[in-house]
Structure 1
Amino acid sequence: MSTISVIIPIYNGETYLKQCINSIQNQTLKDIEIICINDGSTDSSKDIVLNLSLIDPRIKYYEQKNLGVSEARNTGAILATGKYIHFIDQDDFIADNMYEDLYLLADKNSLDFISSDIRFFGINDSINYEIPIKKNEIYNSNSPEVKEFLYTFFKFSLGQGAIWNKLFNRIFFLKNVRFLSRDVVKSEDTLFSILSIMNASRFMFSDSIYYNYRVRINSQSRDSSILDLDLSLNMFTVLSKKLPETSWKNDFLMKSFNSNIIFNLFSMVLNSKYESVFDKVFSLRKILNYPYYSRSHMIDLSLSKRLLIILFNFKLTLLVPFIYNFVNKVSKSKSQSKIKSHLDLFLPYE
């Protein structure tokens, strides 16, 4: 049994994979196992892992058909023997003291999971975001601060919904949460993180930076489709079923959907290059017919964005593209320094 099991889902990751594994090998905490799940790669990823495993027996190599990152992570968690598990992306790397520092805090305080801050690299600007929760303190799902904190999952860009900057207690993971396939939901990391918080008895957010997230600008844009919309809506359907019952559960879902997500869904549909105008109108109607749509909960949405949605709701369909283009230009001018929006977390696994 290892102290920490590190799980790396791999799919055609030859460019940065060695750097990723080397950063794990160089950890000051040596009692680790490195579980590499090859998810159907067609490049030299397999050879890279096997060559490294010849000189480091802590590296374990497994293969599966191309089932996706969620299945690769779940498989790795089942194979893991460590007290805590860490999921790392194949093109990122970590500070040498990440596991030792976070494990000491997690083990000392009997935490279900512990999270750290993130360094973004590969761009000129870094992202700074404020979250309504204090760092280096222990919380549980009933803590008053948690409600406000959860709202930020759909408001800010990265960090809260990420899973690769966290150590999870393996028993907690196997008992309470699993990754859902991207064939079922979009933004499965965000869904997983929310469910983790709501099921955790004790967790902490460290203010130390250990995880280095590689931002690849060229890989962040792709054409959306109507299928993307269905998978995005499914995330809220799954949340409504899996979230523990609380007095504010419904309010959380309503506010999150209407204040942060709904305009992104409109953007997804209007930007799609594959659907006809008829299909787009049908999809926009689907958004407004979704059970969690409510104009009274659009309190954090700008007036211009609310106007766009309300006009469509009143069947002023022809005005929507023009207003959307205007709103989109304004929004872009205000967010040039941001790397990812919520929808950027919907990118396909590469």
Structure 2
Amino acid sequence: MTEPLVSIIIPVYNVEKYLDKCLTTVVFQNYDNLQIILVDDGSTDNSLSICKRWSSKDERIEVYSKKNGGLSDARNYGLRYAKGEYISFVDSDDWISLNMISKMVSVFSENDVDMVTCQFITVNNGNAKLFFHQDKKLNIIDRKGMFKLLLEDNNMTSHVWRKMYKRNLIPKDVFEVGKNFEDILAMPILVSRCKKIACMNEGLYFYRTSNDKSIVNTISLRNIEDRFYALKKFTDTIINIEPKLKKFANRALAIKEIDIYRDLIDTRMIRNRESLSLIISLREDLREKNCRVLPGIAPKLFGYSIVSSKTLSILTYELLEKQNSLIKRGIRKFKSYVIKYKKRKAFNAKYLSGNNNLFVVLGVPDYGNLGDQALKFAEYNFIHNYFPDFKIVPVGLNDGDLIRNIKRKVKNKDIIAQQAGGNIGTLYPLIHNTQLSFLSSFKKDRVFVFPQTLYFKDDNEGEQYLKNTESIYRDMQHFLLFTRDKFSYNFAQKKLPEVDATLMPDMALSLTPRITDKRRNGVILLLRNDAEKTLSVRDLQVLLKNVKRNFKNNYIQSDTHIYFDNIDDNFAKNKIYELWDKISRSQLVITDRLHGMVFAALTNTPCIVLHSKSPKIQGVYEWIKNNKFIFLEDDINELSNMIKSALATSGCHFERKNIKEKFDQMAELINKL
């Protein structure tokens, strides 16, 4: 069966810094039948040259160059040349998952729908976060349901780039030229032609928010005016199509208008004469809608003050609405006190009642790094196996207010541990400082650090962090530091000479996944998108060329991070099991994640490991290098031969005897504290 043609329209304007990354992820989709339309909108940098270079190598790429007319004009221009059954838009400073197109086309083919949407991941200087999470993998909704979601602007946004459309449902010149916030203007029109829409809850689009040239990061009166215009027209269009949503739509618009007025005050544009017509329009619109539709007492009062006078609105904002206003700070403080009080009470009842020996684990993660989550569960297993009479007391990174309660309860026999991982030093300073603060409360107790990687920058900041760390460690009366790699061990010996340091395996190597015999197929790529990412765009291209050559389209992209936080233990376990299952179904893992390598070893899956910024991968590799199905890449240009070697391995079985012996030794050392 022939794959339907998908046209991907990418407007390009002065993005030479980001364009290669974007095009790499589009060109190397695990879906081939693409028409890639690049519309250069009068770039004054090297963007057009980059487009032409790519088109000379791939006949699917079409390059069009035009006078600068803005994003809407460039998208409309691209649509005129689009021949695909389906259309997707990608902004040229963003990038997409290698699975995005194939997954969205599959949803179209398996469901009778007119549009498919996915979730997106915001990326700001290495910090990646899923915009919105829902447990359900796919929701099918009707037009009215989609309009309601768009008005809420929570789970579903108006961005055109996180969606795939049927070409025959997109009208000519759907994007209004000459206005910013073109997505808000176009989305009701695009949705109006749909009967059913499939909403995927998987993050497949990576939205870069650190591009200072992006219009969404530019604050100007023109921008604010365009936003008001777009929101008004957006709301009116929806009401015309779905009159029953009028009350809901007007309430949503009033909330947005309040936000716009806040922006005018925050930027001091409220005092400019040029803002007067916009202020009058906002006041009239809010008066017409009646501020009683606004949620909460403070927004209602603020709304009424806007309608009354500019002076009163500024005063009300300063007192009630501004995030650091006296009243808001007081309310936040009171709410925080109530939450913390309830939390302490529940924590004391669950963990600190009775006379059990306590095994306190400080800094356990509730964030979406599945490697760190696996370390936590491995620590719990270790405690159950070697210290069965102790009660585990987990303390999260945000649970500093519980430390005093724990300190009062701790006895001489109790044990305090710091969570394992790669967080000692300057790589993740907030986590490092929090953990040091926790440790400093237990200077006279039995304390150790589960196997960690140490990484301090070689500069003044790194030196200061190291001095502070050394000072706190030196004050500990009964203290052990376990490191998981030789670099960290040697560093501790040299820079922390008064600390008793011992080299031990990564805790996750003690885990034993249940692996059922499955037919293995294809390759899974577990690649970083965070601050530790060191894989260059050029190296990524070499990697993907080799993957295409060896596996055609039989590959998927995933990660050991799920990009959102505040997850409980059951959810984390399920996500780890899901990832292990994906890995155990694959012929090969290629990863730059330490725990991508570890999970491959645990599931007896051949693995090629790419280098990362921290020496931890090389160090942990030393514990498993005797398992001949794990390969450490030294030269990306030799990847083709490495893939052949990895695929030729047979009888893969993770040998853990030496690791078990080391954990036996670790338990003995802890007992002697």
Q: CA deviation at 1:277?
A: 4.7
In percent, how many aligned pairs have the same letter? 21
Aligned to 2:206: 212
- 1:179 is the counterpart of 2:182: no
Q: CA deviation at 1:58?
A: 0.8
Are 2:147 and 2:188, in contact at CA under 8 Å, matched by a contact in 1?
A: no
Aligned to 1:310: 304
Structure 1 pair 173/35, CA: closer, same or farther in 2 (3 Å)?
Answer: same
Are 1:37 and 1:62, in contact at CA under 8 Å, matched by a contact in 2?
A: yes
Aligned to 1:247: 243
Aligned residues: 321
After alignment, is 109-118 or 28-37 more displaced?
109-118
Aligned to 1:149: 149
Are 1:287 and 1:293, in contact at CA under 8 Å, matched by a contact in 2?
A: no
After alignment, is 26-35 or 305-314 more displaced?
305-314
Q: CA deviation at 1:92?
A: 1.2
Q: CA deviation at 1:322?
A: 3.4
Aligned to 2:53: 51
CA distance in 1, matches of 2:237, 2:91: 26
Alignment counterpart, residue 36 of structure 2, candidates 34, 38, 43? 34
Alignment counterpart, residue 15 of structure 2, candidates 4, 13, 18? 13
Q: CA deviation at 1:71?
A: 1.0
Give CA-to-partner distance per residue, 1:124-151, whole Å, 9 cap, x none: 36255368x9651322214xx4454233
Structure 1 pair 10/204, CA: closer, same or farther in 2 (3 Å)?
Answer: same
Give CA-to-partner distance per residue, 1:69-120, whole Å, 9 cap, x none: 1111111111011110110010111111211111121133242210111122
Give 1:133-144 correspondences, 5 Å limit.
135-142=137-144
Give CA-to-partner distance per residue, 1:39-69, whole Å, 9 cap, x none: 0100001111111111111111001111001
Give CA-to-partner distance per residue, 1:167-198, whole Å, 9 cap, x none: 111111137x81112x34x4221332333233
Q: CA deviation at 1:19?
A: 1.1
Q: Which amino acid aligns with 2:50?
A: I
RMSD of aligned residue pairs (Cα, Å):
3.0
Aligned to 2:182: 188
Alignment counterpart, residue 129 of structure 2, candidates 126, 129, 136? 126
- 1:322 is the counterpart of 2:315: yes
Q: Which amino acid aligns with 2:234?
A: L
Alignment counterpart, residue 268 of structure 1, candidates 256, 260, 263? 263
- 1:89 is the counterpart of 2:86: no
Q: CA deviation at 1:279?
A: 4.8
SS in 2 for 1:15: coil
SS in 1 for 2:138: coil
Aligned to 1:347: none
SS in 2 for 1:72: helix
Q: CA deviation at 1:21?
A: 0.8
Q: CA deviation at 1:241?
A: 5.3
SS in 1 for 2:250: helix
TM-score normalized with structure 1 length: 0.81
Structure whose alpha-carbon radius of gyration is higher: 2
Q: CA deviation at 1:214?
A: 1.4
SS in 2 for 1:248: helix
SS in 1 for 2:119: strand
TM-score normalized with structure 2 length: 0.44
Structure 1 pair 234/283, CA: closer, same or farther in 2 (3 Å)?
Answer: closer
Alignment counterpart, residue 285 of structure 1, candidates 277, 280, 283? 280
After alignment, is 201-210 or 42-51 more displaced?
201-210
Alignment counterpart, residue 108 of structure 1, candidates 84, 107, 110? 110
Structure 1 pair 149/130, CA: closer, same or farther in 2 (3 Å)?
Answer: farther
**Higher RCO (CA 8 Å, separation ≥ 6 residues):** 1
CA distance in 1, matches of 2:231, 2:121: 29
CA distance in 1, matches of 2:137, 2:205: 16
CA distance in 2, matches of 1:45, 1:68: 15
SS in 2 for 1:235: helix
